[in-house]
Amino acid sequence: MAAALSLSLFLLSSFTSLTDAQSISGLGVSGGSGPTGGIGDRHHPVLKAQSIITDALIASRPNQTRHLADGTPPVLLTSGGSPSSCNPYSVVVDNSKAGRQQEMVGFGHAVTDSTVSVFDELEPAVLHQLMEDLFGQDGNNMGFMRHTIGSSDLSGDQYSYDDNGNGFNQGRPDPSLSHFNLTADGTAMARLLALMGNYKGDVFLFGSSWSLPGWMKNNELLIAPNTGRNELNNSLNLQYIPSAITYFTKYVDAFKELGVNINGLTLQNEPLNYPGGYPTMYLDAADEAAIISQGLGLAMAQRGVKLMAYDHNTDQPAYPDRVFQGTNGQVDMVSWHCYQSPVADYTVLSDFHNLYPNALQFMTECTSYLPYPGQYSTWVAQHFISPVRNGASGGSFWVLGTDPNYGPKSPYGGCQGCQGSIIVNSSTTYTKTHDYYMIGQFSRYVRRGGVNYHIKTGWQGSQSSDQFYIMAVQNPDQSWAVIFLNTLGSDQDVVLSFTEGGQVWEGTVPNLAVTTWLLPAHGGSQNGNSSSSASTSASATTSTNASLSAFSSAYAGASASVSGGEARASTVVGAGGPMKVKWARGNLNSTASSSTMSGLVLASKCNAKFSEITNTALSIEGSSDKEARDEVAAAGHHKGKTSTTFITLEALSTTLAGAEVDAAEHHKGKTSTTFITLEAISTTLAGAEVDAAEHHKGKTSTTFITFEAVPTA
């Protein structure tokens, strides 16, 4: 079956792409009177560009790194604009109909018994502030939340909702679930989730079971004894399928009575991972499908609960396919975890979409294991962005809250180093860990109902290599939340454009960080950050990079050109990248430095290597011809041969006509015919100074000059 699925996935992925947008219409919310939405919805529109940054480094001291910190906002290049960077990193978002992908739900965490336990220790005022930090509109505003049904490895006490005995491993059969009871732990869980609704009223909440009650299993144990291997009889006894249906139905109803709407359900966490030491259970795909098709599907549909298949790693995509095939349309979603070895392959989500275009998909578990100060962690971003690229509508990380010792947790086995985003230290203090801020880069800015779009150009790297990951979501207010992960080794000067709509933005995406850009609809208010330079012209030369900006009418008589003709509002493009051009006419050559050039400053922004001076458009800026200043500055001191010399020039004269120069090698010549180190000694230069960066000798009529970057105003 798996081989057949793999073949079908390959054939489909070879001829189709992720272009049909999965809709989230019909999804419920957990309830509560709290505010809904947030920045990026129609009631909280993005009005100006913003950049928010969290560094990958886990800080070892206060204020060492950026945590959801404001960065320099990206700049909108107005109509006819071109980048200020010489070698920008190009990102292109396909915002066409073909590029439209899935609708988004949100990002968040899992509430475990450990979370409930440590939160319950907080004083009321402190708990209030914590809930604002997690769910408030000025906090992380998390909207996609998971919770554990019964106990898990992140539970101090082990239990199910119907143990029916003196202990979790001593239960007696109760086929009718007459002894169903949330217990004190389950009730505390429901109450915390109800409290969540007071801070955010539009959370999608789903429950995941780690194990059905022990008496429903072939080994009759909630927790199997051996922690080092899977237990073959740690599995569902199929005679209890009707009881399993009743169990899940009673759970949904019990939480409803306590003010919590369950919106989604995974029947079994990691059904193919069933060791001892904490609640686990093997559940074959056929058995999961049987529970759904024999009554759970109908019961959940009546209660508005969406069924989510699988809830395990990306290496077994045949499992959810079998569930979908066996349930006749009663399953709505697929849940994936990040733990495939050596790395998760999220392309299976794209393949699964091709098989089931309307199925919603989510990354529902990943954890930071034993994080430590000084470590660089991009785990959250890797396992949010890559699933979204392949069709996920959201993601939830593992445990939300723990104590400083990664607990309370099962004393028998399971994760012993899973740290929460929140560490509760005492009844009055808690710590927001690195994961809190990383999750906030997503949950704060991607709104429910936003649409993810395909990244056409710019995505780079894999889960096991240096990365430049990108996701671009258009929020309900038509603004964009564009999230970058950069581990390429250096900051990247990004130019972001869209296939439709004309907007072009530029800004810096720092290395070893996650950066979120908020881009207002239609450009918005730029708060003074904009560029008025010009866009690429088809007539641009291929041999020269230059920027021309003339502020003096005195330049009108000088000869300067782009590809031999007049150029207004165009861009010269060459090996060094595109550069701004405001004005050019004719052909600027080495004899054009006459009085017609007075009042101008010559400079290049891009350290570009200029080909033949007589066929070069130079960067020109200035303010008035009264300055009588011509300046050409070298990018640096470089050694070269007769065909490539780097020089610095500074002339304070209004005329160079007839000037004689004396070379370092004591050779007289004209500047238009000699390519050597020059030192002006003639009074005819009227004080002009020509100073070489390096001493070279030779003659040539072809000059290459590297100019220092001088930002255009």
Q: Rounded to the nearest 10 degrees, what angle do helices 379-389 and 434-443 cross at?
A: 30
Comparing CA positions, the residue from 538, 611, 612 lying closest to residue 572 is 538
Structural tokens at position 694: 């390096």
Q: Which helix (H) or strand (E) holds 471?
A: strand 468-474
Tell me, yes or no, if 270 is annotated catalytic: yes
Backbone angles phi, psi at 523, to 5 degrees: 90, -35
Q: Does an H or E element contain 301, and which?
A: helix 297-302
Best CA proximity match to 102, nearest among 303, 533, 296, 390: 390
Structural element, H or E, at residue 689: strand 689-692
CB neighbour class for 489 (10 Å; exposed up to 12, middle 13-18, buried from 19)? exposed
Selecting among 270, 288, 621, 631, the annotated active-site residue is 270
Q: Is 328:298 a contact under the CB 8 Å cutoff? A: no
Asked if residues 400 and 110 have their Cβ atoms less than 8 Å apart, the reply is yes
Burial per residue of 668-686, b for 16 or more beta-carbon CB atoms within 10 angstroms, e otherwise: eeebbebbbbbebeeeebe
Please calculate the CA angle 640-642-645 and round it to the nearest 5 degrees.
Answer: 45
Report yes or no: 263 and 204 within 8 Å, Cβ to Cβ.
Answer: yes
Tokens of 534: 């010009």
**E-only strand ranges, 320-388:** 333-337, 360-365
From 103, 231, 288, 365, active-site residue: 365
**What whole-number distance in Å separates Cα of residue 681 and Cα of residue 702?**
24
Backbone phi, psi, residue 209, to 5°: -95, 135
Rounded distance between C-alpha atoms, residue 19 and residue 21, angstroms: 6
Supply 486's token pair. Answer: 């950069």
Location of structure tokens 């395990």: 312
660 is catalytic: no
C-alpha neighbours within 13 Å on the C-beta side of residue 352: 33
The contacts of residue 483 (CB under 8 Å, 6+ apart) are 381, 385, 441, 442, 445, 446, 470, 471, 472, 473, 514, 515, 516, 517
Report CA Rg, the chain.
Answer: 32
The residues annotated as belonging to the active site are 270, 365
